Amino acid sequence: MKLFHIFVVVIITICQYGTSVSGLDLNRLFVHYSALFGGYWKMPLTVKEINSTNPLQFVFAGHDGEINADFYSHKGDPRFFLLFDQNGNIAGIRTGYIKSDIEKAAEEKSLKFPYDYSKISMFKS
């Protein structure tokens, strides 16, 4: 899968335990990335599973002390993260965007982009 597929659809549907999705293993975690039938991408459930893949699909991106979780990003794409608890089990997801993508898209569509990230606290790193 290309990294682009992760972010193609604005709404990311997570299908997990107990969800009925035709033909899928319901004891796995999937991300829905396409409106077409079968547009599901299997996600790892543990850090051990991440580290056992070759080549690595996800890389350690940091630790969030506020929620006590490690987060892993898809290799080369900081817009989608998997969160893992201290035992190495999946705990959630985090999504984001690249600031320059927003400004670039506004420019390409001749739209005014009125925000100054340095003045909005939620955009500060």
C-alpha dihedral over 87, 90, 91, 96, to 10 degrees?
Answer: 130
Band of pLDDT at residue 125, cut at 50, 70 and 90? low
Q: Which amino acid is at 56?
A: L
The pLDDT tens digits for 52-109 are 988 888 999 999 998 999 999 988 777 889 999 999 999 988 888 777 787 788 888 8
pTM over the 0.75 mark = no
